Chain A
Amino acid sequence: MKVTDKDVSYVAELANLELSEEERKGMLRDLNSILEYIDRLNELDTSHVPPMAQVSDRYGVDQSKQGSDRFAYASREDVLEGLRKSLPHDEALANAPDADEDFFRVPKVIER
């Protein structure tokens, strides 16, 4: 087994998930079966293969330029309200489970 019960707890903590005992067991079983299948990637020698993070660095860019200059078309001046106006306060807060007139409200963060 690749993943242990301890790993599941650790990863759940990293991901801010609170799993029930039963969910934890299912997760242990599923992650192991999926990762076992994923192991077949090791059949491939990729030591000289560059990683590919996205498609857009291959297409639609100015190939005659270097580095981030290739994406010049996607940049814009750094100005306030460059593409659209910021949302008014009330609209930005409208979907919050808890807010006052100006801010999102959350449980106390720092205990004094």
Chain B
Amino acid sequence: MEVTALTIEAARNAVQERKTTAIAMAEAHYSRIQKEDGQIGAFLTLSRERALQQAERMDRIVADGKPLPPLGGVPVGIKDVLSTRGVRTTAGSKILDKYVPPYDCTAVAKLETAGAVILGKMNCDEFAMGSSNENSGFHPVRNPRDLSRVPGGSSGGSAAAVAAGMAVATLGSDTGGSIRQPASFCGVVGLMPTYGRVSRYGLIAFASSLDHIGPLTRTVKDAAIVLGAIAGRDPMDSTSAEVPVPDYVSQLDKPVSGLKLGVAKEYFGDGLDDEVRQAVERAIDTLKSLGCEVVPVSLPHTSYAIPAYYLIATAEASSNLARYDGVRYSLRARGVKTLSEMYRRSRDEGFGTEVKRRIMLGTYALSAGYYDAYYLKAQKVRTLLTRDFDEAFQKVDAIVTPTCPTAAFRLGEKSNDPLSMYLADIYTVTADLAGIPGISIPCGQTREKLPIGLQILGKHFDEATILRIAHAYEQATGRSQLAEV
């Protein structure tokens, strides 16, 4: 069967209406993966046994004449920073090359309970640290729209698989833009929920106060379906919020006329590519024609977001990654004589350059004599950035921006200059720092046929409004926005 453009609903209904079986659906995807993934590199591990067992369970539900759950029989991929019981989970790092978790991440367990069939684990930048997927400890991922280009990162495999028809939907994680930026580069939908909306239990930690789990999908409705399945308070994560989860799908078709959309000049300044600017301005015009009111807002501390982010994220990472010490579950260097030699050599062999660089920066920022000047300063600037959004959201219902300053760049183009790679996260890190939700949806292409992303940011716990705006835009423009692979 043709699987490359399936939505969640279409896939589920095809199984429910016995046009196919969940097993055949999974097998069709595995064939597609076998054919395409050699050149793309989106998967690190296939979980065939687990997938087929789940598919069989879904087929039995249909055979018994019962209704499938919302994702019944739908083939999905899981970013390899999310723990999967019995299925190798590497976080894209050699240091976890052989790690097989003894438990499931809550979001994965919930997705499976909702009927999803987990095909395998998606490639990513090592410990989710990167914006191009070139920092994977195994192999880079190539952008299915143009194989000479990066798919973005760090959820590069998750975005590429959805774009290339190798999974109907995937889960990714976003700490500084890692769901929205690859979604933008690959021409798919990527949703970062509010901090606390989705449990982080079982997510391999990068920066705990910034890490979010969310979906990458082909349509906004699919993102709403996945969010509904994975959201909610989880006693295993004390930062998951006690906030009721609305029925996102039923709110998608509510009209958007009268909604106030903020546009901040700080997101349209130097460094924004002209073609991206034009596409985003056209998208804003489309939203206006649907009855949205455009209101200028100011987010004056935006240019301080990158320096604040790279201090806070690396400081938290340096602490979180201390656990990879060669004792409990990570690689241990051979032939070591003392405990401290074991720590140092194991970490030296297991971690890649970017991870070491961030551990070094974070350790430096936290070290005696520098804590106040760097880490504490960054936390204060985080307050200022969050207040910017608080004030803007007094006036508007959502804020529209470009997701990234440019379309996908070429492999190798930025890999020797870490600072230039960091600067490209300018439009995405702000939402992570403030903990607000954001979605990236396709809004056209460059002349070179590279996808462009529109970002919509919302109030805390108000994913429903940004999904609704994104859905209205998608309905108005059609899925022709999605380039055919």
Q: Which residues of A contact B (CB under 8 A)?
A: 3, 7-8, 10-12, 14-19, 23, 26-27, 30-31, 33-35, 37-44, 46, 49-56, 58-60, 71, 73-74, 76, 83-84, 87, 91-92, 94-98, 104, 106-109
Q: Is B99 touching A95 in the complex (CB atoms < 8 A)?
A: yes
Q: Is A16 touching B340 in the complex (CB atoms < 8 A)?
A: yes
Q: Is A97 touching B381 in the complex (CB atoms < 8 A)?
A: no
Query: What string of 1s and 0s marks CB contacts (under 8 Å) between B323-342 and chain A?
Result: 00111111110001111111
Q: Is A52 touching B340 in the complex (CB atoms < 8 A)?
A: no
Shortest CB distance B391–A (Å) = 14
Q: Say yes or no: A23-B235 contact (C-beta < 8 A), given A41-B381, A50-B383.
A: no
Return the 6 tightest CB-CB contacts between A and B, nearest first: A55-B435, A60-B241, A51-B379, A95-B329, A97-B332, A46-B380
Q: Say yes or no: A52-B379 contact (C-beta < 8 A), given A34-B418, A38-B374, A106-B327.
A: yes
Q: Say yes or no: A41-B242 contact (C-beta < 8 A), given A7-B364, A30-B357, A33-B419.
A: no
Query: Which residues of B sit under 8 angstroms from A31, Cβ to Cβ?
Result: 357, 360-361, 364
Q: Is B449 an interface residue (CB 8 A)?
A: no
Q: Say yes or no: A17-B379 contact (C-beta < 8 A), given A49-B384, A60-B241.
A: no
Query: What string of 1s and 0s marks CB contacts (under 8 Å) between B172-212 and chain A?
Result: 00000000000000000000001110000000000011000
Identify which of A8, A38, A44, A107 contacts B360 (C-beta below 8 A): A8
Shortest CB distance B200–A (Å) = 11
CA distance A42 to B377 in the complex (A): 8
Query: Which residues of B sit under 8 angstroms from A27, Cβ to Cβ?
Result: 356-357, 360
Identify which of B326, B348, B418 contacts A18 (C-beta below 8 A): B348
| 28 sampled A-B residue pairs with Cβ under 8 A | A11-B363, A12-B360, A16-B340, A16-B344, A18-B344, A18-B347, A27-B356, A31-B357, A33-B418, A35-B364, A40-B304, A41-B381, A44-B384, A46-B384, A49-B381, A51-B380, A51-B382, A52-B382, A54-B195, A55-B460, A60-B461, A74-B239, A76-B235, A87-B102, A91-B102, A97-B330, A104-B327, A107-B341
Shortest CB distance A2–B (Å) = 9
Shortest CB distance A69–B (Å) = 14
Q: Is B100 touching A94 in the complex (CB atoms < 8 A)?
A: yes
Q: Which residue of B lies closest to A98 (CB)?
A: B332
Q: Say yes or no: A34-B378 contact (C-beta < 8 A), given A44-B304, A74-B238, A104-B327.
A: no
Q: Is B16 an interface residue (CB 8 A)?
A: no
Q: Which residue of B lies closest to A75 (CB)?
A: B238
Identify which of B100, B239, B303, B367 contacts A54 (C-beta below 8 A): B239
Number of residue pairs spanning A and B whose beta carbons lie under 8 angstroms apart:
179
Q: Is B272 an interface residue (CB 8 A)?
A: no
Q: Is B332 touching A40 in the complex (CB atoms < 8 A)?
A: no
Q: Which residue of B lies closest to A56 (CB)?
A: B239
Query: Which residues of B sit under 8 angstroms from A7, Cβ to Cβ?
Result: 364
CA distance A9 to B461 in the complex (A): 44
Query: What string of 1s and 0s marks CB contacts (under 8 Å) between B233-255 and chain A?
Result: 10110110111000000000000
Query: Which residues of A sit under 8 angstroms from B460, Cβ to Cβ?
Result: 55, 58-59
Q: Is A15 touching B318 in the complex (CB atoms < 8 A)?
A: yes
Q: Which residue of B lies closest to A111 (CB)?
A: B338
Q: Is A97 touching B307 in the complex (CB atoms < 8 A)?
A: no
Q: Which residue of A lies closest to B390 (CB)?
A: A58
Query: Which residues of B sit under 8 angstroms from A46, Cβ to Cβ?
Result: 377, 380-381, 384
Identify which of B304, B332, B364 contacts A3 (C-beta below 8 A): B364
Q: Say yes or no: A83-B380 contact (C-beta < 8 A), given A16-B325, A31-B364, A98-B332.
A: no
CA distance A10 to B369 in the complex (A): 13
Shortest CB distance A97–B (Å) = 4
Q: Is B138 an interface residue (CB 8 A)?
A: no
Q: Is B310 touching A38 in the complex (CB atoms < 8 A)?
A: yes
| Contacts beyond the supplied A23-B356, A31-B361, A106-B339: 15 A-B pairs with Cβ under 8 Å | A11-B363, A11-B364, A15-B322, A17-B344, A30-B357, A34-B422, A37-B419, A41-B307, A46-B381, A52-B382, A52-B386, A56-B196, A56-B239, A60-B241, A60-B243
Q: Say yes or no: A55-B360 contact (C-beta < 8 A), given A16-B347, A44-B301, A83-B236.
A: no
Identify which of B99, B196, B382 contacts A60 (C-beta below 8 A): B196
Most buried by B among A31, A35, A60, A98: A60
Shortest CB distance B373–A (Å) = 8
Q: Say yes or no: A96-B327 contact (C-beta < 8 A), given A11-B367, A17-B359, A55-B209.
A: yes
Q: Which residue of A lies closest to B334 (CB)?
A: A97
Query: Which residues of A sit under 8 angstroms from B311, Cβ to Cβ?
Result: 38
Identify which of B239, B325, B339, B374 contacts A109 (C-beta below 8 A): B339
Q: Is A107 touching B329 in the complex (CB atoms < 8 A)?
A: no
Q: Which residue of A lies closest to B324 (CB)?
A: A16
Q: Say yes or no: A107-B461 contact (C-beta < 8 A), given A14-B367, A37-B419, A46-B381.
A: no
Query: Which residues of A sit under 8 angstroms from B99, Cβ to Cβ?
Result: 95
Q: Is B434 an interface residue (CB 8 A)?
A: yes
CA distance A58 to B356 in the complex (A): 32
